[in-house]
Structure 1
């Protein structure tokens, strides 16, 4: 049965070109992941705050190396696109920003991020999220980007707001964390916001 509306973005929109390096213009660089990032990612996941809001833990650098390889391959599959967030001057890894659950046909993706302990409180997450959002909406042509976080994660709510994502509502008991089920805020930005 044919669809009555065309695709927002055609297949190959992402995979047809190399994953870009994005700059925030204020000291951050969003770049594709490298194998040599494994020790820094492993160290980031030893922080208890990461375990509070993320369902994944890292047992060893070899495990993280596998994640990085999957992150690198995600671009070609056009379902996930992940960037390392680094300091432009020093190259220090400060976090990650990503488009997940990409649906090119509908022009929709979910934004996700984390920062290292040393990067928190420095505006890294909102700056990186803003740069990724501008690229996705303005350059690539996504129609809608969604961002979800546990309602108890007030810092993540501030990031969403600073990056221009409108709070649309609460998804009740929508994500299982180590301490049980969490209600999740749903924020979004759409073309023209």
Structure 2
């Protein structure tokens, strides 16, 4: 059953599905590109890092599982559910991951998430990648609002959000489960204005 809207959708269905997932450029020689099979070991190694494990309870344990995730990412793009990109330096070395999910074309809202490998931390990689993805999503695709959340204990993610123009809107109490229990989550958002 199709939902009847009193207003047209912010983004027309088929806007993403009818295209290949793009490669996006970011400042400092960064490229955001779709994941490739050759990235599986780098992706898997990220989830061995203590900091990434602290904030991500859903994590792959084998290279085969990573490849399944990559396949799901491709399907999500085709179904207009989301997109996941490898953050790379000049299309080579994988530095991290950035993603859009929870795509709501009717209201023009999506959620963003990211992580950066230990060797690339402190270089502004996440901030530059999030800024590039945000500009593309808001101004090229036409989303109106992008949001992200992170544990109130994750100060690094809070700094990335703020530096990328995502205003802190509030705290969602006990909104996520991590390995050490429930966490309050900061909610940040950036709107097209």
TM-score class, shorter: over 0.9
Indicate the residue corresponding to 2:161 in structure 1: 160
Structure 2: runs of 5 or more not aligned: none
- Cα offset for 1:34? 0.6
TM-score after normalising by structure 1: 0.96
Indicate the residue corresponding to 2:21 in structure 1: 19
Indicate the residue corresponding to 2:107 in structure 1: 106
Alignment deviations for residues 23-43 of structure 1 (CA, whole Å, 9 cap, x no partner): 013210000111111011011
Indicate the residue corresponding to 2:7 in structure 1: 5
Indicate the residue corresponding to 2:77 in structure 1: 75
Indicate the residue corresponding to 1:130 in structure 2: 131
Q: CA RMSD in A?
A: 1.1
- Cα offset for 1:57? 2.6
Indicate the residue corresponding to 2:46 in structure 1: 44
TM-score after normalising by structure 2: 0.96
CA contact (8 A) 1:35 1:69 kept: no
Q: Post-superposition, which runs of at least 4 consecutive aligned residues in structure 1 deviate over 2 A?
A: none
Q: What is the total number of aligned residue pairs between the two structures?
A: 191
* Distance across 2 between alignment mates of 1:30 and 1:20: 8
Indicate the residue corresponding to 1:169 in structure 2: 170
Alignment deviations for residues 157-187 of structure 1 (CA, whole Å, 9 cap, x no partner): 0000010000000100000111000000000
- Cα offset for 1:60? 1.4
* Distance across 2 between alignment mates of 1:94 and 1:11: 32
Matched, 1:33 2:35: yes
* Distance across 2 between alignment mates of 1:54 and 1:10: 32
CA contact (8 A) 1:168 1:186 kept: yes
* Distance across 2 between alignment mates of 1:66 and 1:117: 24
Q: Secondary structure at the match of 2:78?
A: helix
CA contact (8 A) 1:146 1:186 kept: yes
Indicate the residue corresponding to 1:62 in structure 2: 64
Indicate the residue corresponding to 1:143 in structure 2: 144
Q: Secondary structure at the match of 1:78?
A: coil
Q: Which moved more, 1:49-58 or 1:109-118?
A: 49-58
- Cα offset for 1:120? 0.9
Alignment deviations for residues 43-89 of structure 1 (CA, whole Å, 9 cap, x no partner): 11111111101112332111111111111221101111111100116
